[in-house]
A and B are shown apart, each in its own frame.
Chain A
Amino acid sequence: MENLSAKYGKTLNLDKLTSYCPGCGHGIVTRLVAEAIENLGIMERTIAIVGIGCGGFSHHYMDIDAIEATHGRAPSFAVGYKLTRPDNIVFTYAGDGDTSAIGLGDLLHAANKGMPITTIMVNNTVFGMTGGQMSPTSLEGQVTATTVKGRDVSKQGYPLLVPELMRAMPGVKYLARETVATPKGVRKTKKSIQKAFDCQVKGLGYAFVELIVPCPTGLKLNVKGSYERCGKEMTDYFKPQVFKDETEQGHVA
């Protein structure tokens, strides 16, 4: 049998079965985060600060120190952590509910501070763990447990474009949105996550990657249907792109 550790490295803990639902995008993103840490050789000095929700489980599958922050506060925890341990690599990992609803203030201020911190926001346009309620990123007309007739933008506003909000911040040095809906998207995701960590290793500033992923359970779709939605409606609105890449400035740390 193929030795999976030889393929994926030591960061990813392959002994544990994940709690992610079949077809969940978190599985791919978690693996790519672990691979980026592995590739950069930073496993022993990296700390995960995860949010509440399905993304909060991500650290269970990585052999690195981890902190489960209170709901939405992972970016502020990371600011405090990085201030006291500037040589350590700290990243936050959370879903769209944690990151763009309850934690949006913490997120934008952490980004604007420009400290070398990496944030991974996994956006599936729905509150997954709590059972499929509306998220700030739910699409217009999206039916959820709390928008039973579909998201009405006249009341609930438009789906929040988080990286677009950060684009003007000079302290943000790497800013991208990717998707795992297609193999090509996964390859791009891998590159962007790697760059977001490299940005911190080089001490350049804040790095943010939003990942557009399927949540079959929260969206009440089968796996195929949820990937199709992810590759169409979701990415039509949340357009994958690298907004900013200032990671080629060399080592300044």
Chain B
Amino acid sequence: MTQETLFLKNTETFAESLARCGVKYHFAYPITPATDVMKRMAVILPQYGGEMMQMESELAVSSALAGAACTGTLVATSSSGPGLTLMHEAIGFMCAAELPCLMFDSMRVGPGDGDIIGAQSDYFVATRGGAHGDYHVIVLAPASGQEIADIMPHGVRLAYKYRTPVLFVVDGLSAQTTESTTLPAYNDYSAEFDTSDWAYTGTQDHPKRALITGSYSHQDGYEMNEMLRAKYEKIYDNEQMWEAEQVEDADLVIAAFGIHGRMCTDMVAKMRAEGKKVGFIRPITLWPFPDRAFAALPDSVKNILVVEMNHGQMIDDVRLAVNGRIPVHFLGKTGGDMPMCTLAEMIAEANRILGE
């Protein structure tokens, strides 16, 4: 496929981006608002010599994903909150087994089965994990169709460089947004990485390999966990990503990811035009959380306003990042017909804090 600009739903953009970056196999189970990813994959993957396989449950999805990932092949899945919950068994397995894969979570409101209305309520489950043990997945939060397409090669490289699952989280509203996106020409980014020293492909070209994620001696278990700890520290040090604007002289900084992060550009432009010193930080990696962006904030910053489409989840990470140095406020909304904070509400809250 050559580069082209298409008017697509962002779920479809996600599918196109996966396929154009080298994903060969996609495993999924239908769930709103993520189903369009698997539908498009079913159509396009055969053109790339691959296949979308619909499984009978998300438990089976993530298990098949792990079985396919262990061959070194670039594989992916797509789901939404309740599906992600079920997938965690094998996500934890893939972290322990150091298997690369790409995952997409179109976040909706919960808990329980929740509602199909878009939200950002999966922040905790994405960044803290839903499986047992000390592990992390790299979490990327693109804020537009274009960013999904632009960031995908980086996502593949992270998955293979660190041999780990990489999870993209997009709120259900952004996932359902239709917009123009310039998609890259086909390139299999996983081919940059040699998997021959770890893939489980039979003993033709290597002595027996056994993928054991449980420990057969306490020493083995200790060593596996220490190895993972060192890897996560490296990712934490090297892979923080964020977008920041006009924080250098700001009184107030907005912190928001995804759709609310995208709205910050307009918000800051409007408030700056009124002479108000407002800037924003939009985390792009949710794990590792971009602590450095907050550590670098100047002393002029008197307050931080966190805006989320949930009851306050990322706010915990912002508070940890500033460690009491700056007061942190929250604005959030979920569910209902209008599940997000409007620009007017965000500006009103910012003005209220500035007036305090």
Chain A residues near B55: list those with CB within 8 A.
Answer: 76, 79, 109
Contact with B along A217-238 (1 / 0, CB 8 A): 0000000000000000000000
* A43–B213 alpha-carbon span in the complex (Å): 23
Chain A nearest Cβ from B56, distance in angstroms: 4
Which residue from A60, A67, A70 sits with its C-beta under 8 Å from B89? A70
Contact with B along A46-85 (1 / 0, CB 8 A): 1101001000000110011111111001001111110111
Asked if A65 and B203 make an inter-chain contact with CB atoms under 8 angstroms apart, the answer reads yes
Chain B nearest Cβ from A192, distance in angstroms: 24
Chain B nearest Cβ from A56, distance in angstroms: 8
* A67–B71 alpha-carbon span in the complex (Å): 11
| B70 touches A (CB below 8 Å) | yes
For chain A, the count of residues having a C-beta within 8 Å of the partner chain is: 31
Chain A residues near B65: list those with CB within 8 A.
Answer: 80
Asked if A73 and B204 make an inter-chain contact with CB atoms under 8 angstroms apart, the answer reads no
Asked if A44 and B203 make an inter-chain contact with CB atoms under 8 angstroms apart, the answer reads yes
Asked if A64 and B208 make an inter-chain contact with CB atoms under 8 angstroms apart, the answer reads yes
* A49–B202 alpha-carbon span in the complex (Å): 12
With A84-B25, A88-B202 as given contacts, are A77 and B208 in contact (CB-CB < 8 Å)? no
| B13 touches A (CB below 8 Å) | no
Which residue from B71, B90, B203 sits with its C-beta under 8 Å from A84? B71
Chain B residues near A45: list those with CB within 8 A.
Answer: 202, 204
Asked if A77 and B64 make an inter-chain contact with CB atoms under 8 angstroms apart, the answer reads yes
* A45–B293 alpha-carbon span in the complex (Å): 49
Select from chain A the residue with minimum beta-carbon distance to B131: A70
Asked if B211 and A67 make an inter-chain contact with CB atoms under 8 angstroms apart, the answer reads yes
Contact with A along B37-65 (1 / 0, CB 8 A): 00000000000000101011101100111
Chain B residues near A79: list those with CB within 8 A.
Answer: 53, 55, 60, 64, 67
Chain A residues near B201: list those with CB within 8 A.
Answer: 65, 85, 88
Q: Give the contacts of A231-250 with B (CB-CB under 8 A).
A: none
* A43–B202 alpha-carbon span in the complex (Å): 8
Asked if A59 and B210 make an inter-chain contact with CB atoms under 8 angstroms apart, the answer reads yes
Select from chain A the residue with minimum beta-carbon distance to B208: A63
Which of A66, A70, A80 has the largest number of chain B CB atoms within 10 A? A80
Asked if A80 and B213 make an inter-chain contact with CB atoms under 8 angstroms apart, the answer reads no
Asked if A77 and B63 make an inter-chain contact with CB atoms under 8 angstroms apart, the answer reads yes
Which of A44, A52, A63 has the largest number of chain B CB atoms within 10 A? A44
Asked if B71 and A85 make an inter-chain contact with CB atoms under 8 angstroms apart, the answer reads yes
| A105 touches B (CB below 8 Å) | yes
Chain B nearest Cβ from A243, distance in angstroms: 23
| B24 touches A (CB below 8 Å) | yes
Asked if B63 and A70 make an inter-chain contact with CB atoms under 8 angstroms apart, the answer reads yes
Select from chain B the residue with minimum beta-carbon distance to A52: B214
With A83-B53, A83-B64 as given contacts, are A67 and B70 in contact (CB-CB < 8 Å)? yes
Asked if B59 and A106 make an inter-chain contact with CB atoms under 8 angstroms apart, the answer reads yes
Chain A residues near B207: list those with CB within 8 A.
Answer: 63
| B209 touches A (CB below 8 Å) | yes
Chain B nearest Cβ from A62, distance in angstroms: 8
Which residue from A65, A73, A88, A106 sits with its C-beta under 8 Å from B208? A65
* A85–B199 alpha-carbon span in the complex (Å): 11
Chain B nearest Cβ from A42, distance in angstroms: 9
Asked if A67 and B67 make an inter-chain contact with CB atoms under 8 angstroms apart, the answer reads yes
Asked if A105 and B56 make an inter-chain contact with CB atoms under 8 angstroms apart, the answer reads yes
Show the binding face of B for A, using Cβ within 8 Å.
24-25, 27, 51, 53, 55-57, 59-60, 63-71, 73, 75, 89-90, 93, 200-204, 207-214
A-B pairs, top 5 by smallest CB distance, nearest first, are: A80-B67, A80-B64, A77-B67, A76-B63, A80-B68
10 A-B pairs with CB atoms under 8 Å apart are: A44-B203, A46-B202, A52-B214, A70-B90, A70-B93, A78-B67, A80-B25, A80-B67, A83-B64, A83-B68
Apart from A44-B202, A66-B211, A105-B56, what 4 extra A-B contacts exist at CB < 8 Å?
A43-B203, A73-B59, A79-B60, A84-B24
